[in-house]
Structure 1
Amino acid sequence: MGRIATSITQQIEKLEERGMVLDMPLDKIKEVLLDIGYYRLGFYWHPFEIDNESDDRIHRFQPETKFSTILDLYYLDVDLRHLLIKFINRIEVNYRTKLIYYASNKYKNSPTWFVDPKVITKNFIDDFDKYYNDDFKKTKVIAKHHKKNINDKYAPAWKTLEYFTFGTNLKIYKSFLDSDIKERISEIYNVKDTSKFIKLMETIVFVRNYCAHSGVMFDLRNTYGIPKLPFYEFNNNDRHCLDSCMKIINFILYQISENRSQEMMKSLEQLFLKYADKNAVIKDIIDNKIRFVGSK
């Protein structure tokens, strides 16, 4: 569409010119374009373009590319995002609970151990106020604590960390000076190598943030290769694809709840089967981009 803004009518005309079959009522197509946006939908019709790997492509669609199919791929992404965030949230809460419990009980005399130079690295402590900023202090529980305890610079760990993001709580783990506390927490999740545990959790945080910010899921590639685990074989040895990320999510979830782990895999299988049956191109995306192989 170039650098000039276009109307919905012009966008529809452009899709027709490029060969898309508009197999839905015109009013519905307009509603979709105003709801989701032409640019964002472009991520989902990109795989249906004839020359989609060319830098100077003309954006022609493969024969019989239907608007409804593009919408199916978009909603596969939406459903997948919602499914994954549900199970990642279970991991996030469990991890945060373990972090708070074990560290707070080890450092009983330091309720704000997350800024204790005997416990946490100087680099994290120096940056701490960017997390514990004025907006954070407006959080109801934190504000109430400071109103009641006017001399406290920070609320204790069980209050503070409850309102930190998954990523920030992982940074705290990485910042422990004591390797024993790191090992104690990582071994809960059946990972003895703490550096490997960090990489696994970073993978989960990465997917979590992708989901939270409405990233395009089917095309997700993890920047860094996921560490190998003796429990899983990654599809075609691809340690960057979404399926490999989902395997890591499921592995950590299994350490928390075998039932939730089984539920996740069953839900994924049902979801992908539902959309793979609708269109051969979507099935190819599931097989060769997401690389989903189920619980095999």
Structure 2
Amino acid sequence: MGKIAITVEQQIKKLKHRGMEMDWGDEKAKEILLDIGYYRLGFYWNPFEIDKDHNFEKGTKFSNVAKLYYLDTDLKHILSKAINRIEINFKTQLIYYASIKYNKNPTWFADKKIVSSNYVDKFPNYYTSKFKSDNKPIKKHHAKYPNDIYAPAWKTLEFLTFGSVITLYKSLHNKELKETISNQYNIKSIKVFENFLLTILFIRNICAHSDLLFDSNTPKEIRTTPIIKFNNNNRHCLDSSIKVILYFLKQISNSRHDLINNEIKDTFKRLKDNSFIKKIIVDKIGYDIEMV
């Protein structure tokens, strides 16, 4: 929109001048622009631009821009549900197996004999006064046991972020313990397991912060493994990340896996006959839409 704010009527005029068809009518376009915002929606008409002046490919319709936005939003909602299930399950496995192994040390996560010094030294950055006051079980624990530095793992880890818990897993010294946890997901290689967790975290953060999902590529290549077949061996695209998420979900619950997988298929299927968006689904997301 440049450095000067313009009215929604001017926004529509500008889009028309650049070659966009207002096929839903100006009033519907105005409603959508006031709902989503010109700047945010711009990320979704970017794939239709053909030059540095931001002119649009011939046949670019406002409806397709909106449909791409809704596709992205729907996928975020679906994947967020799946990742939430995975996050809770992973926390449970880590808490259970580590706490059983170190059953005489309820705060094993802060023991340098068990976890890397770097993680232990940084843990007070997570376990702040705000952390204690914001989470009732932690607050109640310290009210009852004022001399405890930390609450036990089964309380503390429940309130850590997914990223913090993944870092804790990576920081464990005991390889056998790490393998025990990865084996709960039928993954033998710790490196593959950690790579998959970081892939899920990457998508989780996009969904949580309303970033662009359809055009996302993992910063690190997803590791090859016989348990997942990636389309065209593209191990950065969103479809490959979705396959990792679905794999984890299947290890946790077949019914949940099937439900989420069907929701994803139905979301893409609705746009199968739209040539503009189909191209984005195939080329950018990497999804084999002919399979739905």
TM-score normalised by structure 2 residue count: 0.95
User: CA shift at 1:28, angstroms?
Assistant: 3.2
The correspondence for 2:70, drawn from 67, 75, 98, is 75
Structure 1 residue 192 displacement after superposition:
1.0
Structure 2 segments unaligned to the other structure (5+ residues): none
Distance in structure 2 (CA, Å) of the matches to 1:179 and 1:203: 21
CA contact (8 A) 1:235 1:291 kept: yes
Q: Deviations over 1:225-256 (max 9, x none)?
A: 00011022211111000011111111111111
Please tell me the residue identity of whatever aligns with 1:257.
S
Amino acid at match of 1:280: S
CA shift for structure 1 position 25: 4.2
Counterpart residue identity of residue 148, structure 1: K
Provide the C-alpha distance between the structure 1 equivalents of 2:230 and 2:239, rounded to a whole number of angstroms: 8
Q: Which runs of 5+ in 1 are unaligned?
A: 52-56
Give CA-to-partner distance per residue, 1:67-91, whole Å, 9 cap, x none. Answer: 1211111000010000011111111
Aligned pairs (5 A) from 1:109-258 = 109-138=104-133, 139-258=135-254
Contact 1:161 1:169 in 2 (8 A): yes
Q: CA–CA distance in 2 between the matches of 1:231 and 1:171?
A: 24
Residue 88 (structure 2) aligned to one of 76, 93, 97: 93
Q: Which amino acid aligns with 1:289?
A: K
For 1:226, what is the secondary structure of its paired residue?
coil
- Counting aligned pairs with the same residue, the percent is 51
CA distance in 2, matches of 1:162, 1:232: 29
Name 1:62's counterpart in structure 2: 57
Are 2:18 and 1:23 equivalent residues in the alignment? Answer: no
C-alpha deviation, 1:49, in angstroms = 1.6
1:6 and 1:131 map into 2 onto residues whose CA distance is 43
Contact kept, 8 Å, 2:132 with 2:138, in 1: the verdict is yes
Deviation, 1:263, is 2.2
Shift of residue 61, structure 1, vs aligned partner: 1.3
Return the alpha-carbon distance in structure 2 between the equivalents of residues 11 and 134 of structure 1.
47
- Whole-angstrom CA distance in 2 between matches of 1:276 and 1:149: 59
Please tell me the residue identity of whatever aligns with 2:240.
S
Aligned residues of 1:276 and 1:286 also touching (Cα < 8 A): no
Deviation by residue 1:184-213 (Cα, 9 ceiling, x = unmatched)? 001111111112110111001111111111
| Alignment-derived partner of residue 97 in structure 2 | 102
Q: Give the aligned length.
A: 290
Q: Residues 38-53 of structure 1: matches in 2 within 5 Å? A: 38-51=38-51
Separation in 1 of the partners of 2:243 and 2:176?
27
RMSD: 1.5
Superposition TM-score, scaled by structure 1 size: 0.94
Pairing of 1:245-284 with structure 2 (within 5 A): 245-277=241-273, 279-284=274-279
Q: 1:84 is paired with a residue of what secondary structure?
A: helix
What is the alpha-carbon distance in structure 2 between the residues aligned to residue 90 and residue 253 of structure 1?
8
